[in-house]
Amino acid sequence: MDQILLQILNGLDKGSAYALIALGLTLIFGTLGVVNFAHGALFMIGAFCAVTLQKILNLSSVVLDPTKTDFLGNPAKVKTPYVETWFGHDMGAALIDWSVPLAILFSIPIMILIGFIMERGLIKHFYHRPHADQILVTFGLAIVLQEIIKQFFGANPIPTGAPDAFKGSFDFGVYMGFDPNAIIYPYWRMIYFTFSLVVIGAVFAFLRFTTFGMVVRAGMADRETVGLLGINIDKRFTIMFGIAAAVAGMAGVMYAPINSPNYHMGMDFLVLSFVVVVVGGMGSLPGAVLAGFLLGILESFASMNEIKSIFPGIDQIIIYLTAIVILLVRPRGLMGKRGVMEE
């Protein structure tokens, strides 16, 4: 029993990332009808927002301290981050420590801006071109974005720590009535999961309870009719693109402490998130979220030694295998609308 719970918990953090990226992909596909191969790159840029903020906060003034010497006998250099100079030592240190959560605030405007530029500058011109062209041009964009990041941050992963308060693990099992030490779970992963639930909830609430969201949902169902009502649907869809980019970005920011960001993490997640979208049902938002969590958990179960000893290598391919089976057996996915994707 505790084993099962542990695997479910282990699957949650990846599942959360899948769900958030797939949610954005589905929003873009549902509203604009565009298959965005650059969405993984947005996730990656989000993670690098966290890296950037951490670097900025760590910018330091270097002062030579004559009272101390380094091992060569020269005066030692003392680095003082500017934030500590400006806000006092304690406040500055706290800011640096909390750079990842702070990066969320920092990333939202950046990601929305990137989203707007992408949509207005490039994707807009591809609405009336074949899906293949959309895939190709966003694939090209993904390469460009990833290479730009590589130019500035290098090819190696950059460790980006969570705040000290959330480092380490806690004994989750005890809260659930299991034996002590049965289920040890890192704080940050729990936070990531909670955070993703909040973001997903916010997106759904936004679509459900605001007039704006209502129009967008109506547009997703029947773009033409809504257009005929004299509502400028395109403008709203552009804004949705910005929101989808922000969701991917935030998912990336918060993921930075779990896996050190590197330039190709976007491509790595891209294939998986497409698979998630397909399993959930193309165009279905709840489907994307559900499939994200389900596949994350499934992957974590497949990596149990008991399972791996029966089906070697299953942990590597379980997600793809599931997707292929779903596509063949139930092409509209878990929660896709009837008729979507069915010939």
- Selected from 56, 94, 271, 334, the binder of other proteins by CB under 8 A is 271
Residue nearer to other proteins on the CB measure, 143 or 182: 143
Phi then psi for residue 60, to 5 deg, are -130, 150
Q: Let me know: does 265 contact 44? Beta carbons within 8 Å.
A: yes
Span from 13-21, 53-61, 143-151, 251-259 in contact with other proteins (CB under 8 A): 143-151
**Residues 221-260 as x/- pattern, contact with other proteins by CB under 8 A:** ----------------------------------------
Residue 17 touches other proteins, criterion: CB under 8 A? no
The nearer residue to other proteins, 245 or 319, going by C-beta atoms, is 319
Name the one residue in this structure whose structure tokens are 């041009």: 137
Q: Which of 94, 324, 334, 335 binds other proteins (CB under 8 A)?
A: 324
Determine how many CB atoms are found less than 10 A away from the CB of residue 129: 12
Q: How many CA atoms lie within 13 A of 121 on its CB side?
A: 9
| Binding test (CB under 8 A) with other proteins, winner from 110, 143, 182, 197 | 143
Enter the DSSP assignment of 79.
E
Alpha-carbon distance 314 to 306, whole Å? 11
Name the one range near other proteins by CB under 8 A: 147-155, 171-179, 218-226, 241-249: 147-155
Q: In Å, how far from its chain's centre is CA 274? A: 13
Query: Which lies closer to other proteins via its Cβ, residue 59 or residue 340?
Result: 340
- 28, 124 contact by CB (below 8 A): no
**Binding range to other proteins, per CB under 8 A, among 194-202, 248-256, 268-276, 286-294:** 268-276
335 lies in the binding site for other proteins (CB under 8 A): no
CB closer to other proteins out of 152 and 212: 152
Cβ distance to other proteins smaller for residue 139 or 187 = 139
Is the CB of residue 77 less than 8 Å from the CB of residue 64?
yes
Taking the CB of residue 246, how many other CB atoms lie within 10 A of it? 25
What would you measure as the largest C-alpha separation in the chain, in angstroms? Answer: 79
Residues 38-77 binding other proteins (CB under 8 A) are none
Does the footprint of other proteins cover residue 122 (CB under 8 A)?
A: yes
Q: Give residues 282-311 in contact with other proteins (rule: CB under 8 A).
A: 282
Task: Identify which of residues 195 and 274 has a Cβ nearer to other proteins in the complex.
Answer: 274
Give the number of C-alpha atoms closer than 13 A to the C-alpha of residue 16, restricted to the C-beta side: 26
The residues, ordered by sequence, that sit 6+ positions from 308 with a Cβ below 8 Å of its Cβ are 302, 314, 315
Given 90, 224, 306, 343, the residue binding other proteins (CB under 8 A): 343
What is d(CA 190, CA 196) in angstroms, rounded to the nearest whole number? 10
Which one, 150 or 208, has the nearer CB to other proteins?
Answer: 150
* C-alpha distance from residue 207 to each of 117, 200, 240, 250, 335 (Å): 23, 11, 10, 18, 18
* Residue with the two structure tokens 């950037």: 52
Residues binding other proteins (CB under 8 A): 35, 122, 125, 130-133, 135-137, 139-144, 147-148, 150-151, 267, 271, 274-275, 278, 282, 312-313, 316-317, 320-321, 323-324, 327-328, 331, 341, 343
